[in-house]
């Protein structure tokens, strides 16, 4: 007869198998049937999407105006040079999250990743090829390197760059691959328990164990919202809130903010029509509005403050409920 349980078995065993400097197997067991994959799959997603890495986001090359240009005496044209640059993996030293570095090379020489090492950055792919210079040729360029997660297209950073810079697609993720397998393990003569083995390979910017630790932190942070106590609030008499002066200002169209065309269009394309919609957003939500750059973000924050509010402000419950009803009515 199958034993009746009131709680699932809690895994107690955790092991790390270090295969190489940039590869490791993370193992945990025993899990109840079905539990291993339920945890392994989201962890894999977080490993691939939320691991923090570094990447070049823009470059300015002396004598080149765009990515289809060329530099005298350099074997590669600019487009090939940029493709090679994307294969070089950087790591910022210290606590910096963004830096700008100037490089200068004189031919004849072959430039590889190791030649880009300096006080500000360390190169974790020293043998990666960058460019070949002929005799009497000179290559001067400035490189912006930033910390981030996931992938950011060049179109999203182009408008924030100074003149002369070429925006680059930035692939920050330091995890090259994350796979898992589920194996059966024997517990008290029962062979139906499971062990999960998560294989992690990184590019050297971060160790596999640190990448796994970071993904756990992100996963815990995402789940923390469910730790909040659930409370049932009494219904609000909407008709009494309608006369609230704050509500009237919050339901004003964003036209009243006097935003620049770029900032207004970013909000408009995201169907943000009312000032109250911006106030209800967190700062991260606003930053993540599609194509909204830092300058536009700062402008919106300043304009909302001039209007008497702040992004992510803590509004009265009755105002929030009434405002959300107004927003829903707008979208209907």
- If phi > 0 it is left, if psi is from -120 to 50 it is alpha, else beta; for residue 147 that is beta
Count CB-CB contacts under 10 A for residue 63.
Answer: 14
- At 203-254, the pLDDT tens digits run 999 999 999 999 999 998 888 887 765 555 544 444 444 567 777 888 888 8
* Residue 152 within a domain: yes
Assess whether 166 and 179 both reside in one domain: no
Adjacent-strand bridge partners of 90: 123
Count CB-CB contacts under 10 A for residue 230.
Answer: 5
Q: CA–CA separation, 155 vs 192, rounded Å? A: 50
Mean pLDDT over 47-72 rounds to 91
Domain boundary among 227, 246, 270: 227
pLDDT band, very low/low/confident/very high, at 261 (cuts 50, 70, 90):
confident
Our CA angle for 297, 299, 300, nearest 5°, is 65
Assess whether 215 and 315 both reside in one domain: no
The percentage of residues in the chain with a pLDDT greater than 70, rounded to a whole number, is: 93
Query: What is the predicted pLDDT for the residue at 234?
Result: 47
Of 147, 165, 183, whose CA–CA distance to 36 is shortest?
A: 183
Of 23, 87, 51, 44, whose CA–CA distance to 214 is shortest?
A: 51
Query: What is the predicted pLDDT for the residue at 274?
Result: 87
Of 7, 2, 9, whose CA–CA distance to 195 is shortest?
A: 9
pLDDT at residue 147 greater than cutoff 90: yes
Count CB-CB contacts under 10 A for residue 255.
Answer: 11
- At 180-196, the pLDDT tens digits run 999 998 887 788 899 99
Assess whether 326 and 274 both reside in one domain: yes
* Residue 5 within a domain: no
- When divided into structural domains, the chain yields a total of 3
Strand order in the sheet with 190-202: 13-20, 23-31, 190-202, 175-187
Assess whether 216 and 252 both reside in one domain: no
pLDDT band, very low/low/confident/very high, at 266 (cuts 50, 70, 90):
confident
The percentage of residues in the chain with a pLDDT greater than 90, rounded to a whole number, is: 50
Q: CA–CA separation, 92 vs 114, rounded Å? A: 14
* Count of CA atoms in the C-beta half-sphere (13 A) of 100: 8
Assess whether 83 and 25 both reside in one domain: no
Do 88 and 130 touch, CB atoms closer than 8 A? yes
CATH number at residue 77: 2.170.120.12
User: What element of type H or E holds 123?
Assistant: strand 121-123
């Amino acid at each position: 007869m199958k034993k009746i349980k009131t709680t699932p078995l809690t895994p107690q065993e955790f092991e790390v198998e270090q295969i190489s400097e940039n590869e490791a197997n993370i193992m945990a067991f025993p899990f109840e049937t079905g539990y291993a994959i339920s945890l392994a799959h989201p962890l894999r997603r977080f490993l691939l999407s939320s691991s923090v890495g570094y990447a070049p986001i823009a470059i300015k090359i002396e004598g080149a105006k765009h990515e289809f240009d060329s530099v005298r005496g350099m074997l590669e044209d600019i487009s090939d040079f940029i493709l090679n640059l994307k294969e070089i993996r950087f790591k910022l030293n210290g606590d910096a999250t963004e830096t700008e570095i100037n490089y200068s090379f004189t031919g004849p020489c072959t430039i590889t990743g190791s030649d880009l090492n300096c006080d500000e950055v360390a190169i974790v792919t020293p043998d990666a090829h960058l460019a070949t210079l002929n005799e009497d040729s000179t290559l001067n360029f400035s490189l912006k390197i930033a910390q981030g997660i996931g992938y950011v297209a060049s179109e999203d950073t182009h408008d924030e760059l100074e003149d002369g810079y070429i925006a680059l697609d930035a692939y920050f993720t330091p995890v090259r691959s994350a796979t898992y397998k589920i194996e059966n393990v024997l517990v008290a003569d029962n062979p139906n328990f499971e062990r999960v083995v998560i294989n992690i390979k990184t590019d050297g910017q971060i160790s596999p164990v640190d990448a796994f630790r970071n993904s756990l932190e992100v996963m815990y942070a995402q789940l923390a919202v469910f730790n909040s106590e659930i409370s049932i609030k009494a219904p609000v008499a909407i008709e009494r809130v309608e006369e609230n002066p704050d509500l009237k200002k919050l339901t004003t169209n964003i036209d009243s903010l006097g935003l620049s065309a770029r900032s207004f269009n970013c909000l408009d394309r995201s169907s943000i029509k009312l000032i109250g919609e911006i106030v209800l957003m967190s700062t991260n939500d606003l930053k993540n509005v599609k194509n909204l750059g830092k300058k536009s973000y700062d402008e919106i924050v300043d304009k909302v403050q001039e209007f008497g509010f702040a992004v992510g402000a803590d509004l009265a419950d009755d105002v929030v409920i009434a405002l959300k009803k107004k927003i829903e009515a707008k979208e209907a």
